[in-house]
Structures are given as structure tokens and as C-alpha cells.
Structure 1
Amino acid sequence: MRDDPTVVDLVIRARDGEKSAWDELVERYAPLVYSVCRRYRLTQPDIDDVGQSVWLRLVEHLPGLREPAALPGWIATTTQRECFRLIRATSRVEPVDLVQSPDIPEQAIAEEEVLRHERGAILRTAFSELSRKCQQLLSLLMQDPPAPYDEISRRLSLPVGSIGPNRARCLTRLRQTPALALLAADGPGPNDE
């Protein structure tokens, strides 16, 4: 995942001034910026400010980026720094659970955030490869709180007794999608056992 040729290609094309490549980079990594900002419980206007700062810094640093494949980590680290800068500038107190342990280097936190973002993107791709019926069923089961079986039965015209077996088949199909097969080939993540 870290040597993603798509990312390398997008960075090179964006360096060369190709607007569509820049737009695709922003679209691809805006959710990463947003998720890092949400960890710091920033308000939406603050998230927007941090996002603008991150993209401005990327414009400034893109020509000098030595390893294009390292862009996701660079974005995560830069977003963290911008969040810290904003919090300090507005004299807000950092939430206790966000205080970085001296034993955990900033780079490790950034890498974990990038991996979480990449896994989410892979899962969304795999989910989009499922049939509409499987997407609907899994969405209803995964919403918070999950929909009751009688509601799922009514909405999807499925007998209540077939929801569990259908869920199992849909999850098997999800695991067999090419996108998730690639993720499984990379091995377990840091939070997997």
C-alpha cells in the first residue's frame, strides 16, 4: 500500500502542473485530513482552516517531495502539526486522550492514521463491488444502532430467518472481492491479531 503506483503517478503529474491530478490528490486524501482533525475534536470551521493550510503547504512542498509514495504520511503528519498549531493559537486545552505519549513517536501515529485511512478506502471499494441487495443488508446491519431484524425483513422483503444466512453470504462475497484480497495479501495490520 505504501508504494502505491497510483499515488506516485498522481504526485508526479501534479508536480508537472496537471490540475486533474491535483484534484484527484485532494479528493483522495481529504478524508484523511478530516479524520485527523476529528481526533482533535476541532469544529467544522477549524477543520476547514486546517485543511486549507495542509493543501497550501502541499502546494509549497510538492516540488521538493523526494518520495512521492510517502505523500499519505506527509499529509497525516502535516495535518497533525496544523491541528497542534491551531489549538495553541486559539489557546484551547488539548483533550487528555490526545496528549501524545513520549514513548510513541509522531511518525508512528501518522503512519497508523494513514493505514487506517487506506484500509477504509479499500473496504469502501470492496463494498461497492457487492450487489445492491448485499450493500443494503450490510448497511442496515452496520448502522448505529443496527436496524432490528423485523425492520430489515420489511425493508428488504426478506424472511427474518434468512437475514443471518444472507449476511454470512454477503460477508463471504465481501472477503472475496479483489480489493480485500489485496489487503489480506499485505498481512495483518497493527491492530489485527
Structure 2
Amino acid sequence: MDSNTEVVSAARAGLAGWEALVERYSRLVWSVPRSFRLSHSDASDVYQCTWLCLAEHLTRIRQPESLGTWLVRTATHQSIAVLRTRGREVSLDLWEPESTLPPPDEVAVTNDRHRRLWTALALLNERCQRLLRIAAHSPELSYAQVADALGMNVGSVGSTRSRCLAELRRKLEAHR
């Protein structure tokens, strides 16, 4: 299951889909109450309430691809509600260090960008996929080494890479 649409559909259908959904977004949901510096027990309550809200609204999610944003907003509202209830005291939970994770909205945006990039890359032909993967993961390789690895002429590596990048850009733009 790659897309959020598939995962949400599977979650609506049964427990295995729900587990995939929780696995995909667990760290994101947990990071929100921790970013509010809630105690471990308050953060756990927010975490559980966020998933409960999703379970209650799962059949009404109209844009599964925006689920990460929905979860961040829900966890944020839950965290603010806990702060209002508990007062403005700052938890000094000595058992867990302060989170060094990036803010949840950055995580959601980054995950969305990565998902869109990998989806667009998968739509390219195999030759472009292999060439772009080599270029991304081993930029130190010479054109001769890349050509040898892919069975291409050395002179066509640069122009092929340019065409593949242009096609990747078009696919990314088409899936915005």
C-alpha cells in the first residue's frame, strides 16, 4: 500500500489496514503533543484521542492524501485542549528528553514531497529510473562509470539524464 488513498481504504475495510495507517503516522501524531512539551501521560492521552477521532471520522475523510495534515491539526487541537485543562504549567518530564524531531508540519510536508517524488519516479521508464537513482545515490561516479553500469554510450548519459529529469518534473507538476 503506497498511497494514502489505499491505506485509508484498507483501514475502512479492516484491522490490517488500520494497523498500516497507525504505523505510517504514529511518529507524526506522537510528535505533536511532545512539541507542546506535554507530560508523557498527557501526550499519551492526546495520541489516543487523535486516533479515536480518526476512527470516528474515517468514513468521512474526503482527501486521504491530506491525512497527515488532518492528524497534525487534530493532535494540535487535542494538545491545546489539554493545556487549557491542565493550566499553563510546563512539564519537566525527566524520563524522556525533549524531542529533537522537526515540527510536525515540516514532517508532513517533507513526507508529502517524498511520496510525490517516488510516485512520479515510478511512472518513468526503467532506464530513467535507474539513471536517476544512480545519479542521486552516487553523484561521484563519472559518466563513463554510469554508462558502463547502464550499458549506455558515454556520450548519451548527460542528454538522457536531462530528458529524464525533465520528464520527472512534468510528472511532478501533473500530480500536484
Q: Does 1:18 align with 2:14?
A: yes
Instruction: Quote the Cα distance in structure 2 between the aligned partners of 1:136 and 1:89.
Output: 48
Aligned-residue sequence identity (percent) comes to 25
Equivalent in 69, 94, 97 of residue 92 of structure 1: 97
Instruction: Quote the Cα distance in structure 1 between the aligned partners of 2:46 and 2:147.
Output: 46
Once the two structures are superposed, residues 111-139 of structure 1 have per-residue CA deviations (whole angstroms, 9 ceiling, x without a partner) of 33212211211110110111111111111
2:68 matched residue in structure 1: 72
What TM-score does the superposition give when structure 2 sets the normalisation length? 0.57
CA spacing shift, 1:155–1:72, aligned 2, 3 Å: same
Equivalent in 27, 34, 47 of residue 33 of structure 1: 27
Tell me, yes or no, if the aligned pair for 2:4 and 2:67 is still in contact at 8 Å: no
1:61 matched residue in structure 2: 53
CA spacing shift, 1:88–1:158, aligned 2, 3 Å: farther
Structure 1 vs Structure 2 CA RMSD: 4.3
Instruction: Quote the Cα distance in structure 2 between the aligned partners of 1:5 and 1:139.
Output: 24
Instruction: Quote the Cα distance in structure 2 between the aligned partners of 1:58 and 1:119.
Output: 24
2:88 matched residue in structure 1: none
List alignment gaps of at least 5 residues for structure 1.
38-51, 82-86, 101-108, 184-193
List alignment gaps of at least 5 residues for structure 2.
32-43, 80-91
Instruction: Quote the Cα distance in structure 1 between the aligned partners of 2:150 and 2:140.
Output: 15
Report how many aligned residue pairs link the two structures.
Answer: 143
Instruction: Quote the Cα distance in structure 2 between the aligned partners of 1:125 and 1:116.
Output: 14
Tell me, yes or no, if the aligned pair for 2:120 and 2:168 is still in contact at 8 Å: yes
